[in-house]
């Protein structure tokens, strides 16, 4: 009897600790704001955006190598239900986000380039952890999408 | 085995436990007496080992010895750990970003860079700068 009791107590402690990652995908999270920003990376002839966060800029330079990053457009959506919402940072790109399971923090998304599907997938938005998506080459530079998350 | 360190620890532990009932109680008393008289011979250890095994194989009536902990609790713990590990793997390995489909002639790969997750897409058509994008 005592053995069973102690076993249950220990499993009760272990389950939340070791199972927290496994169960994370099934736990609802507060509503979030998804911000999609389109940047053009280029070495010359564009106006550099001084508001880019230093760590993001450092990452963009490391990934793409350009010295200047101009913000082309920005849009935000609030995917708080399973109704798809679409952000259009400019007239080229659109990103539709929706929650398949409202009880889960995972969102499905589809990225389109002029109505042609580029990517379909899913992600768990996390504040402070942006998603950087490599876009097409444009002129002498590179189009880059950055998906940020903010808690509401 | 009967002279191993682990067996001696088992005997020491058994001697230090509170008096039990029935066979176990008699076994403990004998072990204490032999220990006091410094007669813990190989023969005695063999006898004690046999009686201890017989006692532990009888139904548990309440008292939990360290041997029972090893015999019953550790397999239960290992089983629970395996179940949790399986649930973790089946839940999608905790990947925060998954790409299921890419457009025609496009290829995508995901990786982490600094604090960011990156989707590296290749195969786009070049867009000339004469094309307005704002």
Assigned domain for A125 exists = yes
pLDDT of B111? 92
Do residues A145 and A38 lie in contact, with contact meaning Cβ atoms separated by under 8 Å?
Answer: yes
Under DSSP, the state recorded for B28 is: H
Q: Would you say residue A9 has pLDDT above 50? A: no
CB B97 to CB A123 under 8 A?
A: yes
Q: Shortest CB distance from B121 goes to which of A2, A122, A134?
A: A134
**Banded model confidence at residue A145, pLDDT cuts 50, 70, 90:** very high
Going from the C-alpha of A129 to that of each of A79, A146, A148, B2, the distances in angstroms are 17, 10, 7, 59
Each domain of chain B, given as residue ranges in start order, spans 1-63
Do residues A145 and A93 lie in contact, with contact meaning Cβ atoms separated by under 8 Å?
Answer: yes
**Banded model confidence at residue B110, pLDDT cuts 50, 70, 90:** very high
Work out the average pLDDT over B3-29: 68
- Determine the residue among A97, A123, A128, A137 to mutate to test chain B binding: the one whose Cβ has the most chain B Cβ atoms within 10 Å: A123
pLDDT of B119? 94
Higher-pLDDT residue of B71, A52:
A52
Assigned domain for A9 exists = no
Work out the average pLDDT over A17-37: 58
Work out the average pLDDT over A122-132: 90
pLDDT of A86? 92
* Cα–Cα dist B126/A142, whole Å: 10
Work out the average pLDDT over A137-144: 93
Do residues A87 and A97 lie in contact, with contact meaning Cβ atoms separated by under 8 Å?
Answer: yes
Assigned domain for A13 exists = no
- Whether the ipTM is more than 0.90: the answer is no
- Please state which of the ranges A52-56, A63-67, B42-46 shows the lowest mean pLDDT: B42-46
Assigned domain for A102 exists = yes
**Banded model confidence at residue B94, pLDDT cuts 50, 70, 90:** very low
Do residues B8 and B48 lie in contact, with contact meaning Cβ atoms separated by under 8 Å?
Answer: no
Among chain B residues, the shortest Cα distance to A40 is held by B133
Q: Would you say residue B67 has pLDDT above 70? A: no
Residues of A in contact with B94 (CB under 8 A): 21-22, 24-25
Q: Would you say residue B45 has pLDDT above 80? A: no
Q: Long-range pairs for B61-67 at CB < 8 Å and ≥24 separation? A: B61/B21, B62/A1, B62/A2, B63/B17, B63/B18, B63/B20, B63/B24, B64/A2, B64/A3, B65/B13, B65/B14, B65/B17, B66/B10, B66/B13, B67/B10
Q: Is A13 on the interface with B (CB under 8 A)?
A: no
Q: Would you say residue B2 has pLDDT above 90? A: no
Residues of A in contact with B133 (CB under 8 A): 40, 72, 90-92, 138, 143
* Cα–Cα dist B34/A149, whole Å: 72
Q: Shortest CB distance from B116 goes to which of A14, A120, A131?
A: A131
Smallest CA–CA separation between B126 and chain A, in Å?
Answer: 5
Nearest to A109 by CA among B7, B98, B36: B98
Assigned domain for A65 exists = yes
Range of the structural domain that residue A105 is part of: 29-151
Name the CA radius of gyration of chain A, rounded: 20
Mean pLDDT of chain A: 81
Higher-pLDDT residue of A85, B15:
A85
- Structural domains counted in chain A: 1
Assigned domain for A22 exists = no
At B25, phi and psi to the nearest 5?
-60, -45
Residues of A in contact with B115 (CB under 8 A): 55, 59, 128-130
Predicted TM-score of the model (pTM): 0.59
- Please state which of the ranges A48-52, A84-88, B6-10, B75-79 shows the lowest mean pLDDT: B6-10
pLDDT of A1? 45
pLDDT of B42? 63
Mean pLDDT of chain B: 73
Sequence-separated (6 or more) residues with CB below 8 Å from residue B2: B42, B45, B46, B49
Assigned domain for A3 exists = no
Q: Is A48 on the interface with B (CB under 8 A)?
A: no
Spatial strand order in the sheet of B116-122: A68-77, A32-42, A141-151, A131-138, B116-122, B107-113
Under DSSP, the state recorded for B62 is: S
Assigned domain for A14 exists = no
Do residues A41 and A140 lie in contact, with contact meaning Cβ atoms separated by under 8 Å?
Answer: no
Under DSSP, the state recorded for B112 is: E
Q: Would you say residue A2 has pLDDT above 60? A: no
Q: Would you say residue A70 has pLDDT above 90? A: yes
- Determine the residue among B85, B119, B126 to mutate to test chain A binding: the one whose Cβ has the most chain A Cβ atoms within 10 Å: B119
């Amino acid at each position: 009897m005592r053995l069973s009791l102690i076993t249950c107590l220990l499993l009760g402690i272990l389950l939340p600790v070791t199972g927290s990652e496994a169960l994370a995908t099934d736990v609802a999270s507060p509503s979030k704001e998804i911000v999609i920003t389109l940047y053009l990376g280029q070495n010359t002839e564009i106006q550099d955006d001084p508001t880019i966060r230093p760590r993001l800029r450092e990452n963009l330079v490391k990934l793409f190598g350009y010295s200047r990053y101009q913000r082309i457009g920005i849009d935000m959506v609030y995917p708080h239900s399973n109704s798809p919402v679409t952000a259009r940072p400019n007239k080229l790109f659109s990103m539709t986000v929706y929650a398949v399971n409202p009880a889960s923090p995972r969102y499905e998304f589809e990225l389109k380039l002029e109505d042609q599907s580029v990517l379909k997938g899913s992600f768990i938005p996390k504040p402070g952890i942006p998603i950087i998506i490599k876009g097409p080459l444009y002129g002498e530079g590179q189009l880059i999408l950055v998906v940020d998350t903010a808690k509401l | 085995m009967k002279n191993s360190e682990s067996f001696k620890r088992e005997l020491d532990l058994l001697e230090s436990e509170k008096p039990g009932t029935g066979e176990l109680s008699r076994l403990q008393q004998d072990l204490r007496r032999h220990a006091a008289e410094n007669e813990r011979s190989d023969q005695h250890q063999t006898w004690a080992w046999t009686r201890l095994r017989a006692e532990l194989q009888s139904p548990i009536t309440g008292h939990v010895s360290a041997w029972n902990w090893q015999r019953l609790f550790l397999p239960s713990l290992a089983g629970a750990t395996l179940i949790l590990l399986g649930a973790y793997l089946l839940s999608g390995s905790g990947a925060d970003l998954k790409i299921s489909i890419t457009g025609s002639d496009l290829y995508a790969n995901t990786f982490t860079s600094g604090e960011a997750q990156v989707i590296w897409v290749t195969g786009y058509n070049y867009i000339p700068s004469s094309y307005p994008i704002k």
